Amino acid sequence: MSTSDEVDRIVDAWKRERPDLDMAPLSVLSRVSRLARHLDLARREAFAAYDLESGEFDVLAALRRAGKPYALTPSALVSQNLVTSGTMTNRIDRLEQKDLVARMPDPTDGRGVLVQLTTNGKSAVDRALEELLVRENNMLASISIADRTKLATILRSIVLPFDEESAGLEN
């Protein structure tokens, strides 16, 4: 198996053409970008088996992680999924049509609504998550558990400032 990848070839070509520039960020973030594309494909394949799109899974997953009674406000779902309220409304509508979520009155807010996972929704998200984890474990099979932990720590340090900035925009 070769130790060079497409990013190495791209970076080498840029170094040849633009030796005045530091290509270190390109060598790291191009790999992250390529991995994100592969992960997106794996997610789509995992969720397609359960008639779900990635965004729909994200809504179901947020509700499932909330714990019993598996219900959140639409604004909490918007916040957790980093999408607009219009996008969230469309996702909830589709999931409701598939009998995976139900809208109900919020008992703590007479004008509010809660989105709740149905029994079918809980089953679908649980099975889709299991399928996703199989695919993600396969993607990481070439690196040790210790390296996975190191990589998670490094990626967290890169992502955290962006997450904090997003949280600041919401407040």
- Could you tell me if 32 and 74 lie in one domain? no
Are 74 and 85 contacting, i.e. CB atoms less than 8 angstroms apart?
yes
Is 140 within the bounds of a domain?
no
* Residue numbers of the domain that contains 28: 1-48
Higher pLDDT, 80 or 89: 89
pLDDT tens-digit map of 111-166: 889 999 999 999 999 999 999 999 999 999 999 999 999 999 999 999 999 878 77
Tokens of 121: 């929704």
pLDDT category of residue 170 using cuts at 50, 70 and 90: low
Is 78 within the bounds of a domain?
yes
Q: How many domains does the chain have?
A: 2
pTM for this prediction: 0.82
Higher pLDDT, 44 or 109: 44
The pLDDT value given to residue 1: 63
Is 101 within the bounds of a domain?
yes
Is 168 within the bounds of a domain?
no
Are 72 and 62 contacting, i.e. CB atoms less than 8 angstroms apart?
yes
The pLDDT value given to residue 30: 95
Is 139 within the bounds of a domain?
no
Tell me phi and psi for residue 112, to 5 degrees.
Answer: -85, 170
